[in-house]
Amino acid sequence: MYSEGIADLYEMILLLPMSPPDQKDAKMTQIKERTTNRYFPVFEKVLKSHGQDYLVGNRLSKADIQLVELLYTVEETDPSILANFPLLKALKTRISSLPTVKKFLQPGSQRKPPLDEKALEQAKKIFQF
């Protein structure tokens, strides 16, 4: 269930660069509104309700990793978006400090930066947008 919610928000963010220029601002506003009023409050509530370090039980799960990746992606669009979500910030810090995750997040790692204009144009051509 958590992974599906993460995927829903992630899809909106991933499709944003493909939006027509005259719709990008409206879509970005919608993403920020849903992020801060719908998605992040749910995850914050889950972490608060059971008082444990992770979403499911007290073990790292795929959902935790997916959520942290989403948090990084959302912060790339708006660095202040986590300001009102202290438990999500703590989750991000905790998971980012795990040795394998920390290594993955280092500069030059496999984590890809946001699409630049050249990569975006190439993707549009490939997917015929």
Residues 48-92: tens digit of each pLDDT: 998 888 998 889 999 999 999 999 999 988 899 999 999 999 999
Q: Give exposure, 78-101, as e/b (b: 16+ Cβ within 10 Å).
A: eeebbeebebbeebbeebeeeeeb
The identity of residue 51, as a single letter, is G
Q: Where are the alpha helices (DSSP H) in the chain?
A: 2-15, 21-34, 40-50, 62-77, 86-96, 99-105, 117-126
From the number of C-beta atoms within 10 Å of its C-beta (0-12, 13-18, 19+), residue 40 rates as: buried
Structural domains of the chain in order of their starting residue, each with its CATH number: 2-126 (1.20.1050.10)
Tell me the range of 33-37, 55-59, 74-78, 121-125 where mean pLDDT is highest: 33-37
